[in-house]
Amino acid sequence: MSKEKLGVYKSLSDLGYSVAKKSDAAKLDGKYAVENIAGFPDSISKENRDEFYEGARQRANELPKYQPVEYCVIDNNYIPVDQLTGDLPKERYIVSVASVFSYSQQQFGAMKNDNPQLYAIVQDLRKRVSKYCSNALDDLRTSARKYLKEQNPETKTRAATLAFIEFLNKEFETMIQRCKTAESRGNDDTADLASLKDSIVAFKAKYKPFN
Domain termination residue (choose one: 127, 151, 175): 151
Type of residue at 95: V
The predicted pLDDT at position 1 comes to: 43
- Domain residue limits at 203: 155-210
What pLDDT shows up at residue 163? 73
Half-sphere exposure of residue 186: CA atoms within 13 angstroms, side-chain side:
0
Mean pLDDT of all residues in 156-178: 77
The mean pLDDT value for 185-198 works out to: 86
Considering the domain architecture, whether residues 145 and 178 belong to the same structural domain is answered as no
Q: How many domains does the chain have?
A: 2
pTM of the predicted structure, to 2 decimals: 0.66
3-state secondary structure of 101: coil
- 120 with 53, same domain? yes
CA distance 103 to 67: 18
Beta-strand runs (E) in 62-152: 69-74, 77-80, 92-95
Buried b (16+ CB within 10 A) or exposed e, 19-40: eeeeeeebeeebbebbeebeeb
Q: Is residue 1 part of a domain?
A: no
Which stretch of 19-33, 56-70, 93-107, 185-199 has the lowest confidence by average pLDDT? 185-199
- Residues 46 and 125 placed together within one structural domain of the fold: yes
